[in-house]
């Protein structure tokens, strides 16, 4: 299983709007390979070098700072969970 995850570095471009839309704003991407989607996804998250462990740590980090971002990340985590269940069936 191969996973590609975009790398965002908004600190390099302070004038840029950090809201993600349909336009690409990534400065690169990481690719990871694993025996399962879960393994590949976790390797990709670790390759971002942001000291993250899945979506839970991201949601916790931003939960008090930005309510809109919290909803977007929660939705992304929900999609991830649904994909994992579909792949495991």
Tell me the pLDDT tens digit for each residue of 20-34: 666 666 677 888 899
Range of the domain at 64: 53-89
> Is the same domain home to 77 and 88?
yes
CA dist., res. 35 & res. 42, Å (int):
12
Claim to verify: residue 3 and residue 46 sit in the same structural domain: yes
| Structural domain count, the chain | 2
| 36 and 1 co-located in one domain | yes
At 86, the pLDDT band (50, 70, 90 cuts) reads low
Report the pLDDT value the prediction gives residue 69, as an integer from 0 to 100: 57
Residue 4 lies in a domain: yes
- Predicted pLDDT at 73: 63
Judgement on whether residues 42 and 61 belong to the same structural domain of the protein: no
CB atoms within 10 A of CB 47: 15
Do 67 and 81 fall within a single domain? yes
β-pair partners for 2: 33
Each residue of 31-45: pLDDT tens digit? 889 998 778 888 887
In a domain, 20, yes or no: no
Q: Are residues 65 and 87 in the same domain?
A: yes
The answer on pLDDT for 58 being more than 60 is no
């Amino acid at each position: 299983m191969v996973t590609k995850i975009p790398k965002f570095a908004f600190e390099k471009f302070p004038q840029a709007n950090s809201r993600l839309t349909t336009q690409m704003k990534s400065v690169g991407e990481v690719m990871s390979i694993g025996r399962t989607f879960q393994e590949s996804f976790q390797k990709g998250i670790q390759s971002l070098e942001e000291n993250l462990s899945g979506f839970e740590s991201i949601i916790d980090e931003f939960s008090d700072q930005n309510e809109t971002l919290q909803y977007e990340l929660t939705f992304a985590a929900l999609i991830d969970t649904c994909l994992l269940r579909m792949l495991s069936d």
